[in-house]
Amino acid sequence: PTLAALDAHLVDCRACPRLVAWREHVAEVKRASFRDDDYWARPVPGFGDERAGILVVGLAPAAHGANRTGRMFTGDRSGDFLFAAMHRTGLANQPTSVSADDGLRLTGIRVTAPVRCAPPDNKPTPEERGRCGPYLAREVELLGATVRVAVVLGGFGWQALLSTLAEQGWDVPRPRPRFAHGAEVTLRRAPGAAGDDRGTAGDDPGASPHDGPGAVPDGGPGGPAQTLTLLGCFHVSQQNTFTGRLTPQMLDDVLLRARDLAGL
């Protein structure tokens, strides 16, 4: 099982009828400024370093951003803000992100989302979140012990990631830690904990590519106890960045803290 196999499976997923309809509808209608673009209009894989120490967890692809370009956070203002910050903090080779073949490379960091299809109003339902969760779980598993830090952009991703990690045997406290900008929570998981199927994984990622995340390929090799630190950060959406609720300096500070914690 590899991230490439997971992604190959993911991009054929049609498990959420409402989101399948929306991602394709948006691609038909388009936005005037993108009328000549062929929209991706499918589930969007994670992007970046396959040996990442830092995993950025957003919300879901934007209708005319990642749903258009096919690369997470690429082609909208949220991504502009995020990748510029990664470039300033030494995690990206360029400050801009316009298309899937623009030469952007991330080092030590990877971007993903708990829901992989663009939702109406950027609001997935709890059912959609639950259905898509296994893809995030598998991505975390496949990144394995290299991932030390999750930078979580907003409360939706925070709740989704904690749910996923709890199911994967991480020691998520009850009640669940609350999202806040600057929140920092370190979780542990013993080898062989419930949900830790490292080492017992099946090896048949291509078995049935159209039946949704229930058939997602299993995780990577076994290993020692893991720790993962979640860092809360306001989402990079225009609602936060245009109003100054999230400034470039605030995001830089979170990324620098993440670098520190990940030993980068």
Residue number with CB closer to ligand DU (65 or 124) = 65
Which residues, numbered 206-235, are part of the site for ligand SF4 (CB under 6 A)?
212-213
Half-sphere exposure (Cβ direction) of 53: Cα atoms closer than 13 Å: 13
- To ligand SF4, the closest distance from the beta carbon of 151 in angstroms equals 21
Residue number with CB closer to ligand SF4 (80 or 139) = 139
Q: 228, 143 in Cβ contact below 8 A?
A: no
Residue number with CB closer to ligand SF4 (86 or 115) = 115
Asked if 106 touches ligand DU (CB under 6 A), the answer is: yes
Asked if 46 touches ligand SF4 (CB under 6 A), the answer is: no
Q: With contacts defined by CB under 6 A, how many residues of the chain interact with ligand DU?
A: 6
The per-residue DSSP string of the chain comes to --HHHHHHHHTT----HHHHHHHHHHHHH--GGGTTS----S----EE-TT-SEEEE-S---TTTHHHHSSTT-SSHHHHHHHHHHHHTTSBS-S---STTS---BSSEEEE-S--SPPGGG---HHHHHHHHHHHHHHHHHHGGG--EEEEESHHHHHHHHHHHHHTT----SSPPPP-TT-EEEEEE-TT-TT--TTS----TTS-TTS-GGGPPP-----S-EEEEEEEE---SHHHHTTTSS-HHHHHHHHHHHHHHHT-
Residue number with CB closer to ligand SF4 (116 or 198) = 116
Which residues, numbered 37-76, are part of the site for ligand DU (CB under 6 A)?
48-50
- To ligand DU, the closest distance from the beta carbon of 91 in angstroms equals 10
Structure token digits, residue 61 = 């692809």
Q: Which of 3, 6, 13, 165 binds ligand SF4 (CB under 6 A)?
A: 13
* Residue 181 interface partner, choices ligand DU, ligand SF4, none, CB cut-off 5-8 Å depending on type: none
Which residues, numbered 121-140, are part of the site for ligand SF4 (CB under 6 A)?
128, 131-132
Distances in whole angstroms, Cα of residue 9 to Cα of each of 2, 38, 43: 11, 21, 10
Which residues, numbered 69-128, are part of the site for ligand SF4 (CB under 6 A)?
115-117, 128
Q: Provide φ and ψ at 106, rounded to 5°.
A: -105, 145
Q: Which of 25, 31, 95, 105 binds ligand DU (CB under 6 A)?
A: 105
Asked if 133 touches ligand DU (CB under 6 A), the answer is: no
Residue number with CB closer to ligand DU (26 or 55) = 55
* Residue 50 interface partner, choices ligand DU, ligand SF4, none, CB cut-off 5-8 Å depending on type: ligand DU
Asked if 219 touches ligand DU (CB under 6 A), the answer is: no
What does the binding site for ligand DU look like in residue numbers (CB under 6 A)? Answer: 48-50, 105-107
Binding site for ligand SF4 (CB under 6 A): 10, 13-16, 19-20, 43, 115-117, 128, 131-132, 212-213
